[in-house]
Structure 1
Amino acid sequence: DLSCEVLLQPVEWQALYCHTHHTRHPPKKTPRLQQAVLWIAMLGGYLNRKHDRPPGPTVIWRGFLILHEITKMYQLFRQNE
């Protein structure tokens, strides 16, 4: 039940949220860590089907690599606002 800010910087979770939910506006409330890890895993290729095992380190790593790029673009586009 931890906040995702124990793992991610505010700009990272905001970029992750906006990318995942196809929106330009992040929520006011910080997502939970468990939800953010699931979103990161899904960036790395995790399908989140009912019978799937929890995501492994390779999928999480791939997700973090993609999140890094998403965050850079999010910052770039938010510069002029």
Structure 2
Amino acid sequence: MVVAWRIARLMRLDRTCPNLDAALLFEKDEWQAAYILNRKKVPKSPPKLNEVIRLIAVLGGFLGRKGDGEPSVKTIWLGLQRVVDLAAGLKFT
């Protein structure tokens, strides 16, 4: 139930406040893991929420084409599973 609440909250905030700082909703290891898994350079400062959500959704199968709209709960959920796993690994290195 808590996981579903977090994912729904992330999706809603991404759509209403996309320019929020990602550090407000993600731990440092989580947003860095999203960049690492997408093979993108990890920024030194926390990125915007919309950017991190898009990276997570791509890991869940979101294509991000012009007519695709916003990422759904399912794509965020699938991508977040991968991000959380890598973030756990980053904590122990």
Give TM-score, length-normalised by structure 2: 0.70
The count of residues paired between Structure 1 and Structure 2 equals 75
Give 1:1-81 correspondences, 5 Å limit: 1-22=19-40, 26-76=42-92, 79=93
Distance 1:42 1:29 in 2: 21
Judged with a 3 Å threshold, the aligned counterparts in structure 2 of structure 1 residues 2 and 22 are, in CA distance, closer, same or farther, namely closer
Percent identity (aligned): 32
Name the SS of the counterpart of 1:38 in structure 2. helix
Superposed CA RMSD: 1.6
Distance 1:34 1:72 in 2: 22
Structure 1 residue 22 displacement after superposition: 4.7
Question: Which consecutive segments of 4 or more residues in structure 1 shift more than 6 A?
Answer: none
Structure 1 unaligned regions, length at least 5:
none
